[in-house]
Amino acid sequence: MKYHIARNGQEIGIWTLAEIRTFLETGQLLPGDLAWREGMPGWISVADVLNSLQPPQLASDASTTAGAADDVATPPARPSTYLLPSVLVTLFCALLPGIPAIIHASRVNSRYDAGDYAGAAKASRAARFWCRIAFVFGLLVAGGIVASIVIPTIGKVRTTAARAVDGSNLRQIGQASLIYATEHSNKLPQAATIHDYARQLAADAGLDDASVWFAHGRAPAGVTTVLAPGDGPRASRAIDSAFRQSTPDVVVPLGGITAAMRSTTPVAWTRGLRADGTWAPDSPYQGEGGWIVFLGGQATWYNDLKSPSTRLVRFQDGTLTSDIREALPPGVRLSEK
């Protein structure tokens, strides 16, 4: 047996007695709401309907309706609105997918209160779906931002580390040149080519590693040693053919340098250094700068030699210059034209 229920002059639903009791307990119906069913002369309050029923009548109601227990429907649990997650993902993750999440979340309670339980469940699922979309979208955006910061930083760290190794290699060339000078009347190697210069350092100073003559990762395949393999004394061994055919990334004076000269005299530097104090775009570091090792033993990285703080000391009078040739004795030949 079902009753029509009205509030404020409008019918709001049709329910069984069991449903009416449940809704009174949950607060969805009020005692003052009006009830009516067929056979009643008029509308009376829900409270009066329940109070007027005697146990026998209730039993009669249950017995006169076949399967009455099956007709009593307990409303499903109120689904989650996901309103708070919707607001959070909209504010902190993604605006566009967050807005539909808020819209669907706001419909859950209103549909449930109207008795549209299926609609409320559908709105809840939609709110949850858009929450997840907004969250994933926010993660992707955040990941992209982090990657845009981290990846260049990692690349810069790797570049800096590689250049530090190159500076150490150039310092080895400077040290080997001084070791050579101690055995040759204080004179650094006198050579026809840079390959011959490297051969003298390999034979008399032990610097046979060909990789020190190249920037990081630029040594040609097969170039590993300066001297050709052999069992004889280093001084008698020829230049390795692969090394001879290569173009080292280092420039050296091919003679005229002694260990007694001022410590600011350049001994070796990165190829591509021009007279105006800049490195050419086709230099090992694409014009970003290069290394110079001095007679005093220090190896320094320069972006260029144009500013007063980076200029070199002119060999003849001690003034400053951007041209590395002027930092050397006049007439010194270089391994790079």
- Statement to judge: residues 213 and 266 lie in one domain: yes
- Statement to judge: residues 60 and 27 lie in one domain: yes
Number of domains in the chain: 3
- Statement to judge: residues 45 and 94 lie in one domain: no
- For residue 44, is it within any domain? yes
Domain interval for residue 135: 83-147
- What's the pLDDT at 69? 45
Q: What are phi and psi of 301, to 5 degrees?
A: -90, 135
Assign 2 to helix, strand or coil.
strand
- For residue 332, is it within any domain? no
Q: How far apart are CA 84 and CA 105, in angstroms?
A: 9
Q: How much of the chain is helix, strand and coil, in % rounded to 5?
A: 45, 15, 40
Burial 176-208 (b: 16+ CB within 10 A, else e): bbbebbeeeeebbbebeebbebbbbbbbbbebb
Q: Is the dihedral of CA 60, 61, 64, 68 positive or negative?
A: negative
Domain of 31, CATH number, reads 3.30.1490
pLDDT profile of the chain (337 residues), mean per 10: 84 86 84 85 83 54 47 76 89 86 91 88 92 90 83 75 93 97 96 96 95 95 92 83 96 97 97 97 96 96 96 96 97 91
- For residue 337, is it within any domain? no
- Statement to judge: residues 127 and 211 lie in one domain: no
Task: Kindly report the pTM of this predicted structure.
Answer: 0.58
- What's the pLDDT at 55? 52
- Statement to judge: residues 172 and 312 lie in one domain: yes
- For residue 335, is it within any domain? no
- What's the pLDDT at 60? 45
- For residue 203, is it within any domain? yes
- For residue 76, is it within any domain? no
